[in-house]
């Protein structure tokens, strides 16, 4: 999905980290231990480099 990574770099900057709930897809803060939307503890971390 090169188009998705390009879009995310454009939105979040050249180099950033995206935290996302694996259950519902909600974007989370870095220090989140659980998703505030669904309560899941399975959090994905994506390193977005340019």
pLDDT by position in tens, the chain (length 50): 457 766 766 676 656 889 999 999 999 999 999 999 999 999 999 987 75
State if pTM tops 0.85.
no
pLDDT at 39: 98
pLDDT at 26: 96
Strand partners, 45: 19
pLDDT at 47: 87
Q: CA-to-CA distance for 6 and 21, rounded, in angstroms? A: 21
pLDDT at 1: 44
Helix H or strand E encompassing 44: strand 43-48
List the chain domain ranges.
2-48
């Amino acid at each position: 999905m090169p188009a998705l990574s390009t879009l995310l770099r454009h939105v979040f900057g050249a180099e950033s980290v995206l935290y996302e709930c694996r259950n519902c897809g909600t974007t989370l803060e870095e220090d989140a231990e659980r998703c505030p939307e669904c309560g899941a503890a399975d959090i994905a971390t994506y390193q977005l480099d340019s």
